Structure 1
Amino acid sequence: MPRFMGLIRMEEGDAVGTPPQSLFDAMEVYIGERAADGRFIDGGGLYGTEDAVNFVVRKGEVSRVDGPYAEAKEVVGGWSLLQYDTLEEAVADQQIFADLHAKHWPEVTVISTLRQISEAPGD
């Protein structure tokens, strides 16, 4: 069964604020239904970049860059590991996920990304 990574990106900072309770409630139902039937494997929200650490490999050298990152406008705010029978089913369900955000938190810009996970080298 194909597996997918869902990522949600959004602006970081105080201007975004906290998601409304109605979104938390809707997501609890959405995730609960998918966890019960095996589509949702794992996932969660991420803290902001203030404590993030990046290791940058450039020209054979490794450097460490600690957050916060003033130049970052969008950050990954959450992730999920999902599985579906088909790509079409995954895409349709990601649309529902995006629609929940549009309905319950319309004042923010959210980018919801779905990527299929490579199961073997070269596939």
Structure 2
Amino acid sequence: MRFMCMVKMDEANPQGEAPPELYQAMAEYDREGRLNGTLIDSQGLLPSAAGAIVSLADGKIKAIDGPFAEAKELVGGYAVIDVHSRGEAVELGRRLMQIHVDHWPGWEGHVEIRQLAEF
């Protein structure tokens, strides 16, 4: 079963720069997942100022450059995992949040876990 895990946070709530220890712990978490075959892909995302939103409403397509002031939560990073169950995916999400607890005191956010449709 494959899942998309999206780490979300409030970009408007400044939480400072991520500490180097967080990056080191994340690298180990990723390395472990790649070695045991559960991690397919993962990346952090740049702030919304480096992005754009393309939308369709009332038959009109428009593009808006970031930053996205109207967005409350933004995806800061993602992972695609391949696990045996939803419970295993949730446990990996818990471990990811624990890394933030351990290495970035005061950080607030969550990981949304969604199963990929496989046809």
Per the TM superposition, whether the score is higher than 0.5 is yes
Equivalent residue number for residue 3 of structure 1: 2
Identity across matched positions, percent: 33
State the Cα deviation string for residues 81-123 of structure 1 (Å, max 9, x = none).
Answer: 1110111111112111111111211212111111110112xxx
Equivalent residue number for residue 85 of structure 2: 86
Give the RMSD, CA atoms, in angstroms: 1.5
Equivalent residue number for residue 53 of structure 2: 54
Equivalent residue number for residue 67 of structure 1: 66
Equivalent residue number for residue 33 of structure 1: 32
> How many pairs align?
119
Task: Tell me the amino acid that sits aligned with residue 44 of structure 1.
Answer: Q
State the Cα deviation string for residues 14-51 of structure 1 (Å, max 9, x = none).
Answer: 82221111111111111101101110011100011112
Q: What SS is found at the alignment partner of 2:5?
A: strand
Deviation at 1:74? 2.3
Q: TM-score, normalised by structure 2?
A: 0.91
Deviation at 1:52? 1.1
Distance 1:14 1:112 in 2: 17
Gaps of 5+ in 1: none
Equivalent residue number for residue 95 of structure 1: 94
Distance 2:95 2:87 in 1: 13
Q: TM-score, normalised by structure 1?
A: 0.88
Deviation at 1:72? 2.5
Distance 1:14 1:109 in 2: 9
Distance 1:7 1:88 in 2: 16
Distance 1:21 1:14 in 2: 20
Equivalent residue number for residue 109 of structure 2: 110
Matched, 1:45 2:44: yes
Gaps of 5+ in 2: none
